[in-house]
Amino acid sequence: MSIWIFFKLLGSLALLMFGMKTMSEALQKMAGPQLRHVLGAMTTNRFTGMLTGTLVTASVQSSTATTVMTVSFVNAGLLTLAQAISVIMGANIGTTLTAWIMSAGMSFDITSAVYPAFFLGIILIYQKKYRYIGDFLFGLSFLLLGLGTLRATGTEMHLGQNQALLDFFASFDSTAFSTTLIFLLLGGIMTFCVQSSAAVMAITMILCSSGALPIYQGIALVMGENIGTTITSNLAALSANTQARRAAFSHMFFNFFGVIWILFVFRPFIDLVCGFVGYDVTMTKDSVDINTFMANAAKLSFVLAAFHTCFNVANTSILIWFIPQIEKLVCWIIKPKKVDEEEDFRLHFITAGFMKTPELSVFEAQKEIQSFSDRMQRMFSMVRELLLLSATNTGKKKANQETEFNKLFTRIEKYESISDNMELEIANYLDQVSDAHLSDETKAKIRAMLREISELESIGDACYNMARTISRKYQGKEDHFTEGQYTHLHQMMELTDNSLTLMNQLMSGRKEAYDVNRTLNTEHEINNYRNQLKQQNIIDVNNHEYTYAVGTIYMDLINECEKLGDYVVNVVEARMGTRL
């Protein structure tokens, strides 16, 4: 084999993989949000979950995208793990559509048809309204061009007449169980190394349709591809959260179980599939003329696609009845990590390495920002509790009170550190996502989300500033606040907490259903109350109700609450996409 043919083979595989990636991303840009809503609404039971997983995966041509969406919903509490497993089963069926597209590309010379598609695609790409359709056409054209080139290269290599290759495959006893296991392992290793089951499937189709690789070994390679692709996702999910690891493990269990039972009925099952397609298993090169043999061998790409579909449909038909048991098994094997929440700096929803779909990565980041927002309200609740503790610094309880006060202040400090880390990690993640080719809507979302995390971190800073002010007063020599001052502080903090509650309602719901006026009214109340207390403070200091130093600390806390309210308004502005 000349070096030119070798590079032609690698280049056609690269075209195939790039085409799959481009086509999948274009489909997600066109239908990403709608697919998420479908996935959330159509998983009422195991059968609708399976059907939804099949349809969504067939639509976006990416089982990874479906799995990522599913895990996101499990983390958000929108789906149970059992529902997620049914969706993943459906995703395994939906992903077999790729094999049918490839078998069509292998069986017919379609390279001439892709050039008009390229021309139409480039016209659509330069029209803003239809550019995602143009991206899809380009991806599909690259995929088909890669398949056509791969097919032509395989023909050019004369694999069916390559005696060395034929002797290599003939050295394996096609009837031996060990041969099936060897090719099964080989398929898994190849998929793990190439990181693309589509590329390995294409190579298998070339080898089989050229007559070089017997069908039984070819199907063993396909079974190995199913294992290899799940090992990749499980390794990627090692650094992810518990639910992501459980979902990835259930995917691997599904495929491993299928391979185990299919090995017991290996030849009868394959003969049945061959019968469906019309492939003659008994035909050999010596028994018929070469043209008849090659015509029969040309059907092998369809045999591989049909086996892939039949295998996943049969496996799902068996396992769908045992989803509760599978759920218990994966929960028993993968237990949640025992991590103190205050020390947990890891993000819960963003799973580095597990995400391969930029459009859906934004959805993950939104869930993470929602968690960030919830955490900031919990931090503010701690500040309110710290103020209560500082008000009871008297009598015999002082020693215990001081220990409790210091412990709570330390927790607030840790929360402030966590908020800094969350802002940086989410920003870095969004920066990586923004490097991909995204829709204008998604780019606008990323800009808004960057502003959201900046303002949320400012809320954390405001909470920490209040905690430090309270601690300084608690540890210092200043007099206590008067009863009236404590009452005013609690009222101001109650208004501020109300604004945080409204913000979190927006972050966790749909912005179309949110009433912005409620946030604006609360902000006006905070501003008016701050102005009222500012005037009253001047009068009280002049009347010697308390010292100037106490009045300064008191107004520092009031002003910090007012700033925090402004940050809340900024977050709401960013999420709503309008200036309030």
The torsion defined by the Cα of 223, 229, 231 and 236, in degrees rounded to 10, comes to -170
Range of the domain at 364: 358-576
Is 381 a residue whose pLDDT tops 90? yes
| Predicted pLDDT of residue 353 | 46
Residues 329 and 362 grouped into a single domain: no
Count of domains forming the chain: 2
User: Same domain, yes or no, for 405 and 291?
Assistant: no
Query: Mind listing the pLDDT tens digit for each residue in 10-40?
Result: 888 788 778 877 877 777 777 655 666 666 6
Asked whether residue 557 falls in the same domain as residue 458, the answer is yes
Judgement on whether residues 47 and 134 belong to the same structural domain of the protein: yes
User: Whole-angstrom distance between the N-terminal and C-terminal Cα of the chain?
Assistant: 68
85: CB partners within 8 A, 6+ apart: 247, 250, 254, 323, 326, 327, 330
pLDDT, one tens digit per residue, over 238-284 is 666 677 778 778 888 888 898 899 888 888 888 888 888 887 777 66
Residue type, 284: T
- What does the pLDDT read at residue 338? 59
In a domain, 77, yes or no: yes
3-state secondary structure 152-177: HHHHHHCHHHCHHHHHHHHCCCCCCH
Task: Kindly list the distances between the CA atom of residue 420 and the CA atoms of 364, 376, 409, in Å, as whole numbers in the listed order.
Answer: 19, 11, 17
Residue 4 has pLDDT above 90, yes or no: no
| Amino acid letter for position 461 | D
Answer yes or no: do 328 and 366 share one domain. no
Buried b (16+ CB within 10 A) or exposed e, 176-195: eeebbeebbebbbebbbebe
Query: What is the Cα Rg of the chain in Å?
Result: 31
Domain check: are 205 and 152 in the same one? yes
In a domain, 339, yes or no: no
139/134 Cα distance (integer angstroms): 9
Q: Quick one: 97 exposed, middle or buried, by C-beta within 10 A (0-12, 13-18, 19+)?
A: middle
Cβ proximity of 315 and 92 under 8 Å: yes
The verdict on 323 and 376 lying in the same domain is no
Say yes or no: 511 and 397 in one domain: yes
Q: Residue 396 pLDDT > 60, yes or no? A: no
The DSSP code for 244 is H
- Residue 341 belongs to some domain of the structure: no
314 and 198 within one domain: yes
* Residues 134, 124 contacting (CB under 8 angstroms): yes
d(CA 553, CA 396): 26
Say if residue 295 is in the same domain as residue 436: no
pLDDT tens by residue, 68-78:
667 666 765 66
pLDDT score, position 166: 65
d(CA 10, CA 164): 21
Q: Taking residues 109-114, what's their average pLDDT?
A: 72
Quick: pLDDT tens for 129-138. Answer: 788 888 888 8
d(CA 188, CA 226): 7
pLDDT at 307 over 60: yes
Which CATH number is 493's domain given? 1.20.58.220
Confidence (pTM): 0.66
Kindly report, residue by residue over 397-419, the tens digit of the pLDDT: 466 778 888 899 999 999 998 88
Is the pLDDT at 458 greater than 90? The verdict is yes
Residues 560, 445 share a domain: yes
- SS3 at position 240: coil
Q: Is residue 553 in some structural domain?
A: yes
Residue 345 covered by a domain: no
Note the pLDDT of residue 2: 66
Nearest to 557 by CA among 490, 476, 501: 490
**pLDDT tens-place string over residues 326-359:** 888 988 888 876 554 444 555 666 654 444 566 6
Candidates 512, 348, 372, 347; CA nearest to 456 is: 372
Higher-scoring residue by pLDDT: 420, 340:
420
313 and 276, same structural domain?
yes
> Confidence class of residue 107 from pLDDT cuts 50, 70 and 90?
low
Using alpha carbons, select from 392, 468, 45, 86 the residue that is nearest to residue 247.
Answer: 86
Specify whether the CB–CB gap between 307 and 274 falls below 8 A. Answer: no
pLDDT of residue 342: 45
Across 211-232, average pLDDT = 80
Burial code (b: 16+ CB inside 10 Å, e: under 16) for 535-573 equals eebeebbeeeebeeebbebbbbbbbbbbbbbbbbbbbbb
**Phi, psi values for residue 431, rounded to 5°:** -65, -40
As a whole number of angstroms, the distance between CA 580 and CA 486 comes to 32
Coil, helix or strand at residue 577: coil
> Within a domain: residue 461?
yes
Q: What local confidence, expressed as pLDDT, does residue 286 receive? A: 63
Among the three residues 317, 333, 349, which one is the final residue of a domain in this structure? Answer: 333
In a domain, 349, yes or no: no
